[in-house]
Amino acid sequence: MTAVPQQVQDTSSAATAESPGTSEGENFKVCIRVRPPLPRELDGRIAFSECVFVESDRSVTISDGSMPLNALDGTGVPPSPSTLEAMMHAESYGNHRFTFDAVYGPESHQEDVYESCAKPAVTSTLAGYNATMIAYGQTGTGKTFTMQGAPRGEMRGIIPRAIEDVFYTIESGGDTKGRFLVRAAYLQIYNEVIYDLLKPERTNLAIREDRRRGVFVEGLSEWVVRSPEAVRLLMDRGAQQRATGATRMNELSSRSHAVFVVVVENARGGQISQQAHGGTNAEDGVSVRVGKLNLVDLAGSERLSLSGAAGQRLEETKRINASLSALGNVISALTDPRGRPHVPYRDSKLTRLLTDSLGGNCKTTMICHVSPALEAFSEGLSTLKFASRAKQIRNEARVNEDLDQKAMLRKMELELRRLRSELSERSNKLVDKRKLLEVEEKRKQAEQDKLRAITELQNMSREILLEKQEKAELEERIKSLQSQLLVGGGAGDQVGAAVGSSRKAADGASSSSPDGGARGGGGGTDAARVRQLVKRENQRVRKEYESKLEALERERLQTAEDRAQIGRYKALLLKQRDIMIALTQRLAERDEHIGTLQVELEAYDERQRRLEDALDEKTVALISLRKAAIELGPNNDLDRAAAAAAADASALAASSKSASEMYRTGSDLSLHMHGATLVRGDSGAEHIPTTSSSSSTTTTHAVPADDGSVLARAASLPAPSLENSALEEENRALKAQAADHAKERAALRAILENKVAGLASNLAEDANMLKSADDGMDADRVESIGREARALQRLVAATVKALSQVDS
Ligand SMILES: Nc1ncnc2c1ncn2[C@@H]1O[C@H](COP(=O)(O)OP(=O)(O)OP(=O)(O)O)[C@@H](O)[C@H]1O
């Protein structure tokens, strides 16, 4: 092997300048992970050629293959300064060796990476530190694999393992003490815009900074989680929202920087108490530590010339490269050997968000990923140089005490405490209310008992009073009896004897007391007698009272019976009143009917009168004709015709008059039927017997013009035959008129008969009804209505009879 200048740049001296034990060096760790070759690299057109060689768990060499890797191996000769200088200007070829906090080769396991690289930072968050894990590297080098990996199993990445560890550590209670609250948030920076991956509607979020919270994303949703499973669900949800796309180097390339944030609050010491005014009491020995773990999966850098990206993909790549370049600038500024000039955190959202993680209050671990393939030599070398530079960053990590007492855990505990106290207060109130109700119930019961007792007492005292009164009455009676006995006033021989012996006994005892007999030794018998007397008297009085009570009871029953009877009478009276009202209505209707009939009758009379007048005039004319006929000679036709006409007229007049009178004097049962019966003679002519004086009267009447014409015609008859035929003609007309009249009369009679019969039957019904309901009714009134009805019935019968006679 020819001697060639060593082109190995060994950064180990710079990277490990600080001993691992010092805090600042510990706070910013840089690890390298080399992924295994992918199938596409192994099976590609160009045979796979390796360029990254892991030499130990802390050192790695990258070689473009232009010289043997082991060229310096075994020489142990450090490069001369001139050689180093030459190397610095020949960065893109040759062999480069780097030393870091840890180097993981292609065969490294997820668990190893987590345990040695991530775990210390993760557990430090439980102690109140900020910790950040940043996966850096070219696209397709395994950043997402390291951070997320598979959700379950051996391939689980740092994030799921970190979450599990957080909960495991809390639950196992090892070094951790107190109460914990774990919250999670998930965001992505895509095209320099911040998105909330757990609330996709929240976009374009702003980064803010304040003294208490440091740098934070305003409006980013935080989710309280109680188990690794809950966190896994959040991660899955967020991963679905994350921007990915296929690139030449990676089929599922992350096109955004993703940050999964876990905040752990730990309250230690005494309980958080709430002051009366609602604030917290800082003096109660409670300390709340707030640790924040940022798990950052950066989008991969990509050479535009190689990516072949265009359009949106090109824009994404540019933005990704720009933000990664800003990250490089921040790191350069932070590691500037001239000191710490302006650090351009604000040049990108990524660096702004990672302000604390880069040179601030944080325990940061950067895992830089490289591809083993020679084709990625240039990017790999660039990554290693970047990592080497970052390794010089110094962070100052300190425990975050929640001095302002605004930690969410504190707030939640206070809220919990407040709610608990409210609950207990309400429960107490409820109990109080229940007690109050019970007491109230008891009070009511007691009041009722008291009232009942008072009533009973009143009853008892009333009874006692009565008893006392009775007793006093009895005593009074006894006294009066005794006084009677003392004076010996005829109260019976037995009593007199008893008292007499009592007095004797009293005298013997030289006692002047009225009841001395009972007290004295010899008065024992007297006292017994008196008692017997009193007993008897008592019995008598009792009997007397009992009989009085019975009498009173009887009286009470009688009164009740009377009252019931009165009620019945009252009901009957009401019924009778209703019947009277109905009857009065019927009578009024009947009066109305009678009035109508009266009017009809009067009309008929009027017509009758006119007919009679006409007949009278005819009669006069006939008489004149008769005279003329007599003068002409016997048995002439004119004479016969005149006689027949006179008879006819006379009959008609009589008939009219009788009918008229019959109706006018309808109430008179001894109705006279004037007029005559029409008799048909053998000759066929009608014969009218002249029974009326009017028929033979010779009185002359003023003849009206029409009827006068008949007379005039008769008087001026040229021959008797002509006269006769005229008269016969007229006679026939009169007969026809009479027949019409008779028909009319018959019809009128039928109507009248029906109406009168109806009225009569109504009256009969009324009378019957009255009879059946005359219980307690005025007897005179009933009788008078009955009489009226009977009279009407008789009147009707007579009328009907008379009419029948007229007809026959
Ligand atoms: N250590 C590893 N062991 C096995 N396979 C790995 C490892 N690292 C990466 N891979 C595989 O390499 C491919 C690319 O990995 P990954 O997507 O994690 O890269 P990346 O750096 O996140 O890419 P990008 O920046 O484009 O998102 C995946 O198929 C992944 O499974």
Name the pLDDT band for 662 (thresholds 50, 70, 90).
Answer: very low
Phi, psi dihedral angles at 603 (to 5 degrees): -60, -40
Q: Which residue has the higher pLDDT, 636 or 189?
A: 189
| Per-residue pLDDT, 215 | 87
Residues having CB closer than 6 A to ligand 1 are: 35-36, 38, 137, 139-145, 247, 250, 252-254, 299-300, 369
Separation of CA 143 and ligand 1 centre (Å):
6
Q: Which of 4-18, 512-526, 623-637 has the lowest mean pLDDT?
A: 4-18
Best mean pLDDT range from 292-306, 319-333, 424-438, 522-536 = 319-333
pLDDT in tens, 207-230: 998 877 788 999 999 999 999 899
Alpha carbon dihedral 700, 705, 706, 709, in 10-degree steps, equals 70
pLDDT at 343 over 80: yes
Q: Which residue has the higher pLDDT, 774 or 214?
A: 214
pLDDT at 88 over 90: no
pTM for this model (two decimals): 0.52
Q: Which of 456-465, 617-626, 661-670, 796-805 has the lowest mean pLDDT?
A: 661-670
Name the pLDDT band for 687 (thresholds 50, 70, 90).
Answer: very low
Best mean pLDDT range from 110-119, 250-259, 394-403 = 110-119
Q: Which of 250, 302, 316 to mutate to test the pocket of ligand 1 (most atoms within 8 A of CB)?
A: 250
Decide: residue 527, CB within 10 A, 0-12 exposed, 13-18 middle, 19+ buried. middle
As a whole number, mean pLDDT of residues 43-67 equals 84
pLDDT at 195 over 60: yes
Contacts of 427 (CB under 8 A, 6+ apart): none
Q: Which residue has the higher pLDDT, 144 or 70?
A: 144
pLDDT at 694 over 90: no
As a whole number, mean pLDDT of residues 389-396 equals 88
As a whole number, mean pLDDT of residues 501-508 equals 42
Token readout for 719 is 């021959």
Does 143 appear as a known binding residue? yes
C-beta of residue 54 within 8 angstroms of C-beta of residue 70: no
Q: Which of 753, 735, 528 is nearest to 648 (CA)?
A: 735
Q: Which residue has the higher pLDDT, 88 or 41?
A: 41
Q: Which of 141, 350, 379 to mutate to test the pocket of ligand 1 (most atoms within 8 A of CB)?
A: 141
Q: Which helix H or strand E contains 181, and what residues bound it?
A: strand 179-190
Q: Which helix H or strand E contains 422, and what residues bound it?
A: helix 408-487
As a whole number, mean pLDDT of residues 598-615 equals 83
Does 141 appear as a known binding residue? yes
Say what percent of the chain tops pLDDT 70. Answer: 66
Token readout for 282 is 């800082």
Token readout for 49 is 């050629």
| Per-residue pLDDT, 617 | 83
Which region holds residue 493: left if phi is over 0, alpha if psi is between -120 and 50, else beta? alpha
C-beta of residue 290 within 8 angstroms of C-beta of residue 407: yes
Q: Which of 7-11, 229-233, 435-439 has the lowest mean pLDDT?
A: 7-11
Q: Which of 22-31, 235-244, 514-523 has the lowest mean pLDDT?
A: 514-523
Separation of CA 747 and ligand 1 centre (Å):
133
pLDDT in tens, 531-562: 888 888 888 888 888 888 888 888 889 888 98
Q: Which of 445-454, 625-634, 734-743 has the lowest mean pLDDT?
A: 625-634
C-beta of residue 499 within 8 angstroms of C-beta of residue 526: yes
Name the pLDDT band for 681 (thresholds 50, 70, 90).
Answer: very low
Name the pLDDT band for 78 (thresholds 50, 70, 90).
Answer: very low
Best mean pLDDT range from 380-384, 606-610, 680-684 = 380-384
| Per-residue pLDDT, 688 | 33
C-beta of residue 165 within 8 angstroms of C-beta of residue 119: yes
Say what percent of the chain tops pLDDT 90. Answer: 19
| Three-state DSSP class for residue 156 | strand
Say how far apart CA 688 and CA 711 lie, in whole Å: 21
Best mean pLDDT range from 273-287, 395-409, 592-606, 653-667 = 592-606
As a whole number, mean pLDDT of residues 515-521 equals 43
Separation of CA 67 and ligand 1 centre (Å):
29
CA angle 798, 802, 807 (to 5 degrees): 150
Q: Which of 736, 737, 742, 734 is nearest to 645 (CA)?
A: 734
Say how far apart CA 129 and CA 569 lie, in whole Å: 109
ipTM: 0.98
| Per-residue pLDDT, 109 | 95
| Per-residue pLDDT, 659 | 47
Decide: residue 549, CB within 10 A, 0-12 exposed, 13-18 middle, 19+ buried. exposed
| Per-residue pLDDT, 180 | 87
Q: Residues 185-217, buried b or exposed e (16+ Cβ, 10 A)? A: bbbbbbbeebbbbbbeebeebebeeeeeebbbb
| Per-residue pLDDT, 90 | 46
User: What is the layout of strands, in order, in the sheet containing 95-99?
Assistant: 52-54, 59-63, 95-99
Name the pLDDT band for 13 (thresholds 50, 70, 90).
Answer: very low
| Per-residue pLDDT, 158 | 94
Strand residue runs (E) in 303-397: 363-370
Say how far apart CA 506 and CA 522 lie, in whole Å: 8
Q: Which of 344, 345, 406 is nearest to 207 (CA)?
A: 345
- Which residue shows structure tokens 């008789």? 794
Say how far apart CA 98 and CA 32 lie, in whole Å: 10
Say how far apart CA 601 and CA 596 lie, in whole Å: 9
Say how far apart CA 573 and CA 277 lie, in whole Å: 87
pLDDT in tens, 398-442: 888 875 555 666 677 777 777 888 887 777 777 777 778 888 888
| Per-residue pLDDT, 47 | 79
Q: Which atom in ligand 1 lies closest to the alpha carbon of residue 254? A: 27
Q: Which atom in ligand 1 lies closest to the alpha carbon of residue 33? A: 1
Say how far apart CA 289 and CA 522 lie, in whole Å: 115
Does 142 appear as a known binding residue? yes
| Per-residue pLDDT, 6 | 31
Q: Which of 472, 507, 501 is nearest to 488 (CA)?
A: 501
Residue with CA closest to ligand 1 atom 1:
35
Name the residue ranges covered by the structural domains of the chain.
12-406, 436-570, 578-807
Q: At what angle do helices 119-126 and 158-172 cross, to 10 degrees?
A: 40
Q: Which helix H or strand E contains 435, and what residues bound it?
A: helix 408-487
Distances from the Cα of 40 to the Cα of 246, 249, 306, 373, 632, angstroms: 14, 9, 16, 11, 177
Best mean pLDDT range from 268-272, 559-563, 772-776 = 559-563
| Per-residue pLDDT, 75 | 35
C-beta of residue 319 within 8 angstroms of C-beta of residue 309: no
C-beta of residue 645 within 8 angstroms of C-beta of residue 776: no
Separation of CA 394 and ligand 1 centre (Å):
29
pLDDT, the chain, mean: 73
CATH code for the part of the protein at 12-406:
3.40.850.10
